[in-house]
Amino acid sequence: MKYAYYGFGAFIGFVCGMGINLIFYWLDQSGVKFATYLINNFGFLGEYFLELINALPIIGAALGIVLIKLLFNRELTERSDGH
């Protein structure tokens, strides 16, 4: 059952990360050149930040699993025989 919890947390984190990633993508497609601004003004740090934005779905999935572990620690570590 704990893998269902972890899977749900990863799914929710992935969807949230994908949503935020889509917001940045739509911002770039609408004519606001956010990526160019970051690279021109911040150089390597701007490129690094853009790669973090691209990795948001994976980061969200990992943080979703961590959040489930923190929120449901007692339920996940409880023995099935009732002790």
Please give the residue range of the domain that contains residue 38: 2-76
What's the domain count of the chain?
A: 1
In a domain, 44, yes or no: yes
| Domain assignment of residue 83, yes or no | no
Whole-angstrom distance, CA of residue 32 vs CA of residue 38: 12
Across the range 8-29, mean pLDDT stands at 94
In-domain check, residue 10: yes
Q: What is the pTM of this model?
A: 0.80
Q: Torsion over CA of 13, 19, 23 and 25, rounded to 10 degrees?
A: 90
Assess if residue 81 is contained within a domain. Answer: no
Q: Residue 81: pLDDT above 60?
A: no
What mean pLDDT do residues 23-35 have? 89
What Å distances lie between residue 64 and 1, 39, 45, 48, 49, CA to CA? 16, 30, 26, 23, 21
With respect to residue 65, please indicate whether it lies within any of the assigned structural domains: yes
pLDDT at 26: 93
Instruction: Find the mean pLDDT for residues 73-79.
Output: 79
